[in-house]
Amino acid sequence: MTEVERLNYDVVVIGAGGAGLRAVIEARERGFSVAVVCKSLFGKAHTVMAEGGCAASMGNANSNDNWQVHFRDTMRGGKFLNNWRMAELHAREAPDRVWELETYGALFDRTADGRISQRNFGGHTYPRLAHVGDRTGLELIRTMQQKIVSLQQEDFKETGDYEARIKVFAECTITELLTEDGRISGAFGYWRESGRFILFESPAVVLATGGIGKSFKVTSNSWEYTGDGHALALRAGAKLINMEFVQFHPTGMVWPPSVKGILVTEGVRGDGGVLKNTEDKRFMFEYVPEVFKGQYADSEEEADRWYADADNNRRTPDLLPRDEVARAINSEVKAGRGSPHGGVFLDIASRLPAEEIRKRLPSMYHQFKELADVDITKEPMEVGPTCHYVMGGIEVDPDTASSSVPGLFAAGECSGGMHGSNRLGGNSLSDLLVFGRRAGLGAASYVAELKERPKVSQSDVDAAAAMALAPFDPPGDGVEENPYSLHTELQQSMNDLVGIIRKAEEIERALEKLGELRERIKRVTVEGHRQFNPGWHLAVDLRNMLMVSECVARAALTRTESRGGHTRDDHPGMDPQWRNKLLVCSATPGDNPVVPDIGIEVKAQLPLRQDLLELFELSELGKYYTDEELTSHPGSQV
């Protein structure tokens, strides 16, 4: 029998980023005991890297802003493939969630008259991002951790134990979810330092594990983004949607090679920075797509006036949604007008005084100075697309964040639907707060209504332990595979063949490669023992990366159109017949014990509720919808 530390909680939250922490707070506020598990140090989640800000239509910088405008922007950004109920809840609730953070102790930057300041970002009609310089995510995490400590102090007063209701398990990786009769019964994992196993017996699990970027070679994502939550959910029987939509942020560093992919915040453009090619031309004016024609400035003069007078001028095309800007940069580089290291130039130096740049963008200033020896107050940056965010994720009920598996909830980047085919900048931090809260609430309500709790079976624990230990005990047929080599090959294939621009023949090659890696992973071998062993950790993560990569590739091959974060060279246009179709991935055991088979099916999106449909002009919807879908719009009856 496997030696395992066993613990009991009402709710287990996997992930201590923004979504996870907000879920913890909510479940604890409802009186339940919560374990929060994270594979990195507590406080080091990906959310701390968020720079630009948190989108919420507070109307502080422009009083015309409101939830309906935010909703419209989000749907436009996602090319109308979003789960509209999620987009609605998000737009309605984001301002309250930002205010609430201040009650926890956050301090956002202020306007001259003392209100929360809001900055411009791509695709947002009005300045909407509440921010703390370019370190907003850090403030979010700092504040929620502070709130958790204050709740622990309350628990101490009541019970004499700080950890009576919230306990943090840091540097602890969950490798498997356990179920009984299809319902969640627990989560199994290991301590990274000692390699010892740990079992959480719990009827409710909230997945808040973030994204999948480490399956791609060039990425802004950190080592934790190995798609664990996506894969855990699939293996437990839940479904993933929208996996073909991967966001390539237009501005990652391109030089030096050791830092390629590190993010350059959109805040640089929001604060006046412009993209230029080697001919010193502001090329974005050439790339305003048909669906956005009329909404963006068509001259440099108007674009520049817009920064000071947004009511009487149209916004700069430098701030088009990310998918459009990334494709434009890609085209400029392909046309030979790229910068020396294969990107384009991003110039803030000639646009703002040096002092102002250092004040508004302190992290960017230091990042370029320290990593690339570039002074952004004097010279332009070199930037290019980098894999940044996955729109696809676990399919959830918008109101409760529950997946199709009873007891399993998901929030944040590992969930799917909210952002459709493309996320607007700033909409992730608000998503984490809105749906992190809803997931905590959903899990608490589920537990409250349970008549009896599912039990963990010993055979499931033994199987999870055997799977985790397999890399120490390869088949012994003389062939041994190295996890680092397999990871490098996976990243290269995904980058080259399922990257920013895709075509059928290349995706098919990627799928062949993934098939080969699926076989080779059975022979992944690691040396040494279980105490802090990075090779073993990677070997365990690899099966997750392979599963999610296969979902991305299969969905990308199936969707024969280009939309948002999915660009098909062989199907360049958006096809209205595809707009309301979701691609749903599920896993079946198959004949490979390590990596299950991935199936894909097409599912119709629910039609947009009438009052939300009427928030748009018929002429705009006509660019995305089929005529039949629009017969209920009042404009079609006149």
Please report, as ranges, the residues that interact with ligand FAD according to CB under 6 A.
14-20, 37-40, 45-47, 49-54, 136-137, 173-174, 208-210, 220-221, 224, 228, 263, 389, 412-413, 425-429, 432
C-alpha 271: how far from chain center: 24
For ligand FAD, give the closer residue by CB, 188 or 345: 188
What length does the chain have?
638
Q: Which residue has the tokens 């018929």?
A: 618
For ligand FAD, give the closer residue by CB, 255 or 389: 389
Distance CA 160, CA 276 (A): 61
- CB of residue 477 to ligand FAD, shortest distance in Å: 30
Nearest to 319 by CA among 120, 158, 504: 120
- CB of residue 593 to ligand FAD, shortest distance in Å: 20
- CB of residue 501 to ligand FAD, shortest distance in Å: 22
How crowded is residue 59: how many other Cβ atoms within 10 Å of its Cβ?
Answer: 18
Cis peptide before 256 (omega within 30 of 0): yes
For ligand FAD, give the closer residue by CB, 412 or 576: 412
For ligand FAD, give the closer residue by CB, 386 or 525: 386
Distance CA 132, CA 134 (A): 6
550 neighbors 511 (Cβ within 8 angstroms) = yes
Q: 3-class SS at 253? A: strand
For ligand FAD, give the closer residue by CB, 443 or 510: 443
Distance CA 166, CA 162 (A): 8
Both structure tokens of 599 = 């199936």
For ligand FAD, give the closer residue by CB, 140 or 444: 140
Distance CA 497, CA 215 (A): 12
Distances (CA, A) of 294 to 289, 290, 313, 542, 614: 10, 9, 11, 46, 20
- CB of residue 78 to ligand FAD, shortest distance in Å: 14
Residue 415: which H helix or E strand, with range? strand 415-416
Instruction: Give the residue at shortest CB distance from ligand FAD.
Output: 17
Residue 495: which H helix or E strand, with range? helix 483-497
- CB of residue 161 to ligand FAD, shortest distance in Å: 24
Residue 47 is classified by DSSP as G
127 neighbors 62 (Cβ within 8 angstroms) = yes
Nearest to 206 by CA among 461, 417, 436, 541: 436
For ligand FAD, give the closer residue by CB, 19 or 553: 19
184 neighbors 176 (Cβ within 8 angstroms) = no
Catalytic residue among 249, 543, 568, 579: 249
Distance CA 191, CA 198 (A): 7
For ligand FAD, give the closer residue by CB, 49 or 240: 49
- CB of residue 579 to ligand FAD, shortest distance in Å: 25
Distance CA 136, CA 556 (A): 33
- CB of residue 366 to ligand FAD, shortest distance in Å: 14
User: For residue 397, which phi and psi values (nearest 5 degrees)?
Assistant: -75, 130
- β-sheet with 274-276: strand ranges across: 246-253, 381-390, 344-347, 274-276
Which stretches of 246-353 are DSSP H helices?
267-270, 300-308, 322-334
Q: Which residues on neighbouring strands pair with residue 129, listed in sequence order?
A: 55, 119
For ligand FAD, give the closer residue by CB, 537 or 559: 537
SS (H, E, C) 451-476: CCCCCCCHHHHHHHHHHHHHHHCCCC
In the chain, the amino acid numbered 61 is A
For ligand FAD, give the closer residue by CB, 171 or 304: 171
Distance CA 481, CA 551 (A): 23
How crowded is residue 614: how many other Cβ atoms within 10 Å of its Cβ?
Answer: 14
Distance CA 374, CA 367 (A): 9
Residue 269 annotated in active site: yes
- CB of residue 546 to ligand FAD, shortest distance in Å: 15
Classify strands 381-390 and 246-253 as parallel, antiparallel or unpaired. Answer: antiparallel
- CB of residue 278 to ligand FAD, shortest distance in Å: 27
Catalytic residue among 269, 453, 559, 566: 269
- CB of residue 134 to ligand FAD, shortest distance in Å: 8
Nearest to 533 by CA among 195, 197, 227, 196: 195
337 neighbors 279 (Cβ within 8 angstroms) = yes
Residue 249 annotated in active site: yes
For ligand FAD, give the closer residue by CB, 177 or 297: 177
For the annotated catalytic residues, the residue numbers are: 249, 269
